[in-house]
Structure formats: structure tokens, C-alpha cells
A and B are shown apart, each in its own frame.
Chain A
Amino acid sequence: MTLAQDDGPEPGGDDLFAAEYVLGVLDADEREIASRRIDADATFARLVDAWEARLSPMAAAYPETEPPIRVKEALDRRLFVAEPRSGLWSSLAFWRGLAAASVAALAITIAVPYLNPPVEPPRLVASLTADGSDVRYLAVYDAAHRKIGLSHVSGERAAGKDFELWMIEGKNAPVSMGIIPAGQIAHMTIAPAVQEKLAQGAVLAVSLEPAGGSPTGQPTGPVVAAGDLKSI
């Protein structure tokens, strides 16, 4: 075998490591290292992307094969039914904040059906995210108690800045709901004027503002997360 005696030094370096990852020849441990670096190191991620682009024409050789319908059915269950529930259940800390109110509400619901027709107070959730931003909040609106609970998932505010929460309803100008208190879980009381318009389909948005909030009454900084309220 003459191949082992190829001339020249052994090639190496990040670019080749990226190439080997894309080609698919690395073992499990090496692939784990590469995939961590893709997440943590933008320069390395770009090298990987460039190799994906170079080699991707070979993917034309993969024949298209229709998957069985059960795959789609399982995905629908997983993404659109099961996940929101497990997502909420997994943020138990968030629910704990609303627990006292819920228990009180439950007691009333049990005791009062004889007096009032049972009216389910709307409970709406919104997942707040935005492209190009790592700020994420999960918001739950408890109409019965005029409260909004915010679970801070990720993304820090810059020094000397505050996150301000806005409601956008239809084509109307954003209405401030106040500065979001720092911390993992934040509770905000909703002003009656805002509550009137806060319903399913309304958009909640978070903007980055000077400390103390927008000086103009309208968002002045970038919107770092937004999402519409959905009924649960």
C-alpha cells in the first residue's frame, strides 16, 4: 500500500475538522465536540456552513421517499398538542406564582355554581420571541385576576436598560403595560383600560428601553420579543 506514504505533512486544523464533521466520518465523541463548537463558536460554525454548502450538491443523490402518514400524525401530536402542555408543566415555578389565586378561584368555582352560571375566565398564553434576539418570555394572562405572569426564559437586558411590555391590539398604537420587573418570574397587574382590549389575538411585545421605561409613551428601543395571545 503506497497510500500511507503520501507526500506532505498531515493536514489538520479547524477547517478540516469542520470538513470531516460535514462529511460524516468522525466518531461519536468527535461529533459531540464539533457540535458543541458549532453552538459556541461562530467562526467554527461558519466553517461548517461553508463545507455544508460545498458538499450539499451530493445530496441530490438521495432519492425522495414518501414517509408513512403515521410520522406526520405523531408530529402533529407532539408539536401542536402535547408540547404546549408539557412546556407549561415543566415551568412549575411559574405556576407556583399563580397557585394561590388559582386555588382561591377553584374554591369559588366549586362553591358558587348554584348562585352564578359557571363562567370560565379566559386564560391566555403567549410565547414571546423575535428573530435575531435571544430574549424569550412566556406570558400567561389571568383575566380573572387582572394579572399577567411572565416567566423569563432567556436573554439579559443591557446595563442601564429596562424591558418594557406592550400590548398591540389590531392596528392601534402599542399601549404600555409597564416595566417588566427583573427576575425569573414577574407578575404585573393590568390596568383596567388595557384589560378591556386584552383578548385572544392581541400581541404582547417587549422592547428595550432606557431605565425607567420609554420617555415618550411609545417604544423607542428595539422589540426584542413578541408573540400573540392564545387561549389554552
Chain B
Amino acid sequence: MADGTSVPADLMGRAMSRARRSNGMQKFMRNRSTIAFLMALPLILLIFCLVLYPAVYAIYLAMLNKRMTQFVWFDNFVYLLNRNTFRLVIFQSCLFAVTAVILKALLGFMLAHLMHNISGRNQRIWRGLLLVPWVIPLALSTLTWWWMFDPSYSAFNWLLNRIGLDSVPWLGVGWTARACTILVNVWFGTPFFMIMYMAALKSVPEQLYEAADIDGASRLQKLFFVTLPMMRNIISITVLFSLIVTFADFDIVRILTAGGPQDMTHVFATYAFQVGIQSGDIPLGASISLFMLPILAVAAYFVLRGVNKRTQEIAA
């Protein structure tokens, strides 16, 4: 075509291929999974940088010798398991986490029920007040507790003295100090359980209670056969989440007792800090902190398996 309107064949081909490519790109971008991936990418990168990389690095560190010059595989773990103090730390960590989580779950459940039965504005006020411990930065609130336990200026001892009783060395005797650390953790963590359980309670369909009423179920029966089965998934996930956070707790023990008296309140995190950072044995510190991993992985496996099973049952 010599009239000037003709397009050379190669140019045409290039334009078409560009159009095809752009079409492909548009399709790729329209793909929902791609969009989802791209939108989640910042979070994935964040998790990689702040969680995955440090975790892998910690595993690598845990397999080095003290001077970090030699690979010793699992020697640090074997060494730790042979130490009496570390066995005490395992016991204390489990006691601390399990007791605190059970108490938080029970108290949270009771408070959630109480809140659920308070109506209107009053519920908002009470809910707000009960959330205060969870909202205050933990390090600050623990310092306040520490002042209350302080031997010289303890508010508790002042009250005891006023009624003619002797002062109690709250943080100076092993089991009392253990109880104090658990108490502070329960005080801080209960509002989280309460708010989660309240949300779960609100999602239980009212018709189920009406049906139970028609069947003549008592309050206790409604609790055990309606409320609890409907809340099981939330309870499981809340307990798992809290178990992980409580096992990794550092602030409370560090501020209240620094692991004392006589190492009786050390948990994995505080002991890892003392050995790894303060005593300059970073590989051993990393090994101590990694002891939480198998315990929590097993717990997470069973809890999440139960949740999945129940979700599938409901879906079926």
C-alpha cells in the first residue's frame, strides 16, 4: 500500500505482541490471588525480617560454642539439660505459664459473663475500667506492683501492719515470689480473655438459648451444653495465644525479682538474658530461649488441629 496508510508488517506484529503482553499483565494483575499476595507482601517482608530471619539466626547461634567460632550442634542443649538450675527454670516457666493462663481463662470467663449480663451504658463503663490493666504499658504497671511489694514502702505491708500483722517479704521468699509474679501476670492478662470471651458470647445465637429454655435446661446446663461448645474455638485460640505470650514473658519477672530469690522465679526469657547478654554467652542464651519452641509448637499443633476439626464439623 503505497498511499501512506499502510503499516509495515513487522511494526504491526510488534504492536500486537505489546498489546498481548499488556493484556496478559492486566489479567495477571486482575487475578485475585496475585492482588492478595501483593497486598500481603509488606507484611510478609516484615515477618521475614523481624521474625523468620531472627528465628533462623537464633537457631544458628544456638549451635555455636561460647566464642562463636565452632559449630557444636546440640551440645548447648545437652549441657543445659544436665544443669539443676536450668531444670528449675523449665519447671518455673511451665508453672508460671500454665497457672497464669488457667487463672486468666477462668477469671476472664467469669468477668465476660458478668459483663454480658450488664446492660447498656453501665457495661461500657465497667468494660472500660476492666480493660485498664491491659492498656497500661506492662513495664510501668509492673513497676507499680513492685513498689507495692517493696519491703520498705510496701502498701500491702503497711495495711498488714495497720491490722497488727507482720510484714511479708513478698519477693524475698521463693514460693511467695512465684505467686507474686503469677498474680501480676494474671492481673495484666485477664482483660484480654474477658474481651475475647465477651465477643464470643455475643456471637452465640439467642435461638439456641430459647430452644434450651423450651427443653427446660437449667442455667448450668445452658452453660455447659450451649455456651461452652459454641465458644470452644475462641477459648482454644485465646488459650494458645496467651500461652505463647506468657511463656515468652520477660518484663514481669525481670522487674519484680530479676529471677531471684535463688533462681526460683526465672523463666526462659529472663534466664536467657542473664546467661546470653549479661554473662556474654550468646549461644547458650539462644539455646535457652529456643527451649520454648518445641513446647509451644506441640501445644499449637494440638490446639489448631482441634479448631480445624470443629470448623469442618460445623461446615459439614
* Chain A bound to chain B: no
* B residues adjacent to A (C-beta < 8 A): none
